[in-house]
Amino acid sequence: MGFMDKTRIGIICGGRSAEHEVSLQSAKNVIDALDNGKFEPVLIGIDKSGLWSLYNQQDFLLNSDDPQKIRLNDNGVKLLVHPHSRSFRRLDTNADFTIDAAFPLLHGPFGEDGTVQGLLKLMGIPFAGADVSGSAVGMDKDIMKRLLRDAGIRIGKFAVINADNEPPSYKEAVCQVGEPFFVKPANMGSSIGVQKVHNENEWTLSIKEAFKYDTKVILEENITGREIECAVLDGAELIVSPPGEVKPLHEFYSYEAKYIDKAGALLEIPAALSGEKSQEIKELAVKTFKTLCCAIFARVDFFLTKDGEVFVNEINTIPGFTKISMYPKLLDQCGIGYRELITRIIESTILRFEKEAKLKTSYY
């Protein structure tokens, strides 16, 4: 890179996921905040059919202010991806170009689950966030819970059902996880397919709905408690934010409460907790981050019961990244503003890649 060259950051957004729209909003915010003295954004959008295109920063979105109607513009240049060559080919001019690092802002399957991370790894492009295995583990609520259980981290009771097998009866399900309980696709996010089940009829409908999104479905004990979240940022130093609280105004923190209903939830930052409880949760956030093989950033979500018991609910390896999302807001509490956060993430990304590049890849 020449003296004046900026680091070219591939912002990868959209994706073949039910969280496509959320991703576009995160991307828009990251691009707006990128330190353009240091970085040049290269906008790569993946449409819902999985096609990758190159976009202009100015007009890559349509209906950008509407969380339901926001979408990628039709003016992208289709791209061909070369594994092993670190480059992308524009299909309009056939010119190849490369990027110095990628910031995948993709939520859910085909983006947050290790698939895109694997592709970038093959291409030799540094990418922000968890590595392939950490991404895959963080996406799969079944595997995630088994690792947490193994590490002695408190989690609620759960059971797993596969689409190939006959689902348990309502009675059997209640016997395993109590009543009411939660039904979720194992691999999803943004509360898509997440349902609270109170009776047999809801049970029947819920499995149908959850199996629309995944072939593996998880049942979980209902944990009545406050929803507490912590941001972890790992780089030159490991930073864990004070806990924040989500106060959903719906029965639970559903997709509607998260993204559609503007008054669907209140965020309280920092959460009103004793210093001791706050410390306990922060330590648990770090332990969870490490147990689940995460890197660079993640948000860890908890339930805190009336009795003061802390349960880990889940980890998000690519948390919502809009300016008003919990993750950036929590780090703001540590004196790390949105722009500074993005800069630190990119710098850690490149540093990690350089370390890994020094590893031997053959015995001789």
Contacting residues toward ligand ADP, per CB under 6 A: 156, 182, 184, 188-191, 194, 220-223, 227, 248, 252-253, 301, 313-314
User: CB of 242: closest distance to ligand ADP in angstroms?
Assistant: 19
Residue 131 or 140 having the CB closest to ligand ADP: 140
Are 353 and 101 within 8 A, CB to CB? yes
Nearer to ligand ADP among residue 100 and residue 220 (C-beta): 220
Least distance to ligand ADP from the beta carbon of 302, Å? 10
Residue type, 278: S
Residues 6+ apart with CB under 8 A from 177: 156, 157, 158, 159, 219, 220, 221, 222
Q: How far apart are CA 149 and CA 158, in angstroms?
A: 11
To ligand ADP, the closest distance from the beta carbon of 265 in angstroms equals 9
Task: State the nearest-atom distance from the C-beta of 318 to ligand ADP, in Å.
Answer: 11
Q: How far apart, in whole angstroms, are the C-alpha atoms of residue 306 and residue 36?
A: 47
Instruction: In angstroms, give the least distance from the CB of 305 to ligand ADP.
Output: 10
d(CA 16, CA 30): 20
> Which residue number has the CB closest to ligand ADP?
253
Alpha carbon distance 335, 97 (integer Å): 36
178: left (phi over 0), alpha (psi -120 to 50) or beta: left
Smallest distance, ligand ADP to C-beta of residue 56, A: 32
Nearer to ligand ADP, 126 or 328 (CB): 328
Give the nearer residue to ligand ADP in terms of CB position, either 135 or 191.
Answer: 191
- Residue closer to ligand ADP, measured from CB, 155 or 336: 155
Cα–Cα distance for residue pair 240/262, rounded to 1 Å = 28
Instruction: Report the residue number, 71 or 184, with the smaller CB distance to ligand ADP.
Output: 184
Other C-beta atoms lying within 10 Å of the C-beta of residue 66: 10
